[in-house]
Amino acid sequence: MAPLASRYRGIVLIQKQLGNASLDRAKRAKPRLQRTRRGAIAKVRNHLIDHGLDAEDDWALWIDIDVWRFPHDVVSRLVKAGHRIAVPNCVTIAGGDSFDRNRFITMRPKKDYRYYRQIHGGLYQPAARSFTRLHLSDVRHLDSIGLDAVGGTMLLVDAALHRGGLRFPEIPYRDLIETEGFGALANDLGIRPIGLPKLEILHVPW
Give tens-digit pLDDT for 67-126. Answer: 999 999 999 999 999 999 999 999 999 999 999 999 999 987 688 998 999 999 999 999
The closest alpha carbon to 97, from 132, 129, 143, 60, belongs to 129
CATH code assigned to 2-203: 3.90.550.10
| Angstrom distances, CA of residue 41 to CA of 105, 167, 170 | 22, 12, 8
pLDDT confidence of residue 4 = 78
Give tens-digit pLDDT for 22-48. Answer: 666 666 678 778 899 999 999 999 999
Give the Cα separation of 26 and 57 in Å (integer).
37
Strand-pairing partners, residue 67, are 203
pLDDT confidence of residue 149 = 98
Q: What angle do CA 156, 49, 91 make, to 5 degrees?
A: 35
Give tens-digit pLDDT for 4-14. Answer: 788 888 888 89
